[in-house]
Amino acid sequence: AALARLVAEAAAEAAASEGRFALGLSGGSLVELLARELPAALGAAPGADPARWLVALCDERLVPPEHPDSTAGAYRVRRGTG
């Protein structure tokens, strides 16, 4: 929960000063943690609008999004669009 709050607060601050927020995301346990904690943290941080985010998926594996080891695929599934 603390990490999600930190991300939401940084996003709000960056959006206010820079107009956007850049975030690099890895896979693994971070996917589940953010899926569970980030929505509430965003709701509590005015100005942390995800529409202003630039998200980069950090993945050392070269696999298609449908592959079980894909970071992009993991985030897509947790978001409910996979």
For residue 24 the two structure tokens come to: 């690099």
Amino acid 74: pLDDT: 85
| pLDDT < 50: residue spans in the chain | 81-82
pTM: 0.80
Both tokens assigned to 68 = 């079980």
Q: How far is CA 4 from the centre of its chain?
A: 9
**Distances in Å between the alpha carbon of 66 and those of 13, 27, 47, 56, 72?**
34, 14, 33, 18, 9
pLDDT at position 80? 54
- pLDDT score for 19: 95
